[in-house]
């Protein structure tokens, strides 16, 4: 099962989710936190953990069972019910360009949801390509132990530095050198790293 890990922009996009059980309850919050425009949920029942999203109008719940006569024209279609046949029929009727996720058929799915660890602007995504979700979950915990509390603040600092350097320094090799120095322990762990970095930029341009 060959796959390319990519980061997907969801702002302005729409999703339909068929079924609202445990799997839907894991994935819907991910869509919402990525800023998707609209999530329509089609299911006779709604998992307890999705009730709050419904109460706050973050999802639209269309109560009832879906049959294969239904068609969806959303950008994303997540098939998370327990009805394998229904999923296969809906897959056959897909709209051009639509990305489909089948909770019970990783091979036919266009997309997977890797386990994601976020620390501010850092995202770590990991997948065993369906070989063992349980192993992936364990690996997540090991990786989390390696990620320090400093990462979030470091990335805010480095983002600011990067913009300052891009504005002040036009020579590409000087830019590259400054941006590399900014990531050194000497700079990152300095108590007054903002001032130190400003000085370093000044030294290069004067
Ligand atoms: C392909 C993928 C879907 C995708 O494309 O996204 C997929 C597919 C399937 N999972 C199944 C079962 C289980 N899934 C979990 C748990 C998780 N599953 C997740 C991801 C993925 N699962 C994707 C691959 C990721 C990868 O390989 O790295 C995690 C890591 C992340 C997430 O989904 O959020 C999440 C951690 C939750 C957490 O962190 O809490 C557990 C264990 C548990 O719940 O504790 C079990 C039972 C034990 C077992 O079976 O191993 C079944 C069989 C269903 C059946 O038998 O009916 C299928 C379908 C199939 O394999 O056919
Ligand atoms: N991808 C993954 O990580 C995993 C996938 N699975 C597979 O995903 C599927 C769903 O699993 P769970 O969420 O645990 O099941 P669940 O039983 O918690 O949820 C199923 C949902 O589908 C709804 N539903 C059933 N028929 C429907 C229909 N015709 N139209 C609309 N909604 C319908 C139910 O009302 C319920 O809300 C199963 O096929 C299971 O084998 C299970 C565990 C993990």
pLDDT digits (tens, 9 = 90+) for 131-153: 899 999 999 999 999 999 999 99
The pTM is what? 0.90
Nearest CA to ligand 1 atom 11: 133
Assign 68 a pLDDT band (cuts: 50, 70, 90): very high
Judged by its nearest atom, the ligand closest to the C-alpha of residue 135 is 1
Distance, CA 137 to ligand 2 centroid (Å)?
A: 20
Mutate to test the pocket of ligand 1, among 99, 100, 102, 133 (most ligand atoms within 8 A of CB): 133
Cα separation of the two ends of the chain:
54
pLDDT at 129: 86
Distance, CA 133 to ligand 1 centroid (Å)?
A: 4
Judged by its nearest atom, the ligand closest to the C-alpha of residue 16 is 2
pLDDT digits (tens, 9 = 90+) for 151-190: 999 999 999 999 999 999 999 999 999 999 999 999 999 9
* Look-up of token digits 């108590």: 191
Q: How far is CA 205 from the centre of its chain?
A: 38
CATH number for the domain running over 1-113: 3.40.50.720
Nearest CA to ligand 1 atom 8: 130
Q: For ligand 2, say whether the CB of 86 is within 6 Å of any of its atoms.
A: yes
| Closest by Cα among 18, 26, 23, 65 to 44 | 65
Q: For ligand 2, say whether the CB of 44 is within 6 Å of any of its atoms.
A: yes
Q: For ligand 1, say whether the CB of 58 is within 6 Å of any of its atoms.
A: no
Give the ipTM of the model, two decimals please: 0.90
Q: Tell me the C-alpha to C-alpha distance, in Å, between residue 116 and each of 30, 38, 104, 137, 153.
A: 10, 22, 20, 10, 19
Ligand 1 atom at minimal distance to the Cα of residue 135? 28
The Cα 32–Cα 27 span in angstroms is 9
Domain range list for the chain: 1-113, 114-147, 151-205
Ligand 1 atom at minimal distance to the Cα of residue 111? 5
Ligand 2 atom at minimal distance to the Cα of residue 84? 39
């Amino acid at each position: 099962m060959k796959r390319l890990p990519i980061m997907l922009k969801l702002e302005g996009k729409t999703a339909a989710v068929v079924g609202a059980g445990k799997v839907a309850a894991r994935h819907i919050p991910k869509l919402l936190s990525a800023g998707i425009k609209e999530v329509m949920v089609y299911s006779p029942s709604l998992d307890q953990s999705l009730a709050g999203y419904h109460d706050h109008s973050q999802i639209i719940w269309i109560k009832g069972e879906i049959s294969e006569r239904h068609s969806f024209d959303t950008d994303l279609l997540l098939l998370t019910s327990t009805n394998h046949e229904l999923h296969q029929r809906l897959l056959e009727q897909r709209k051009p360009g639509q990305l489909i996720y089948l909770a019970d058929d990783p091979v036919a799915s266009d997309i997977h949801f890797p386990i994601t660890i976020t620390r501010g602007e850092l995202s770590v995504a990991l997948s065993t390509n369906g070989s063992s979700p349980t192993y992936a979950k364990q690996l997540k915990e090991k990786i989390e132990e390696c990620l320090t509390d400093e990462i979030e603040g470091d990335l805010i600092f480095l983002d600011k530095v990067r913009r300052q350097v891009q504005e002040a320094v036009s020579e590409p090799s000087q830019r590259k050198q400054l941006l590399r120095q900014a990531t050194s322990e000497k700079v990152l762990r300095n108590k007054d790293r903002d001032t130190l970095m400003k000085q370093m930029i000044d030294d290069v341009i004067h």
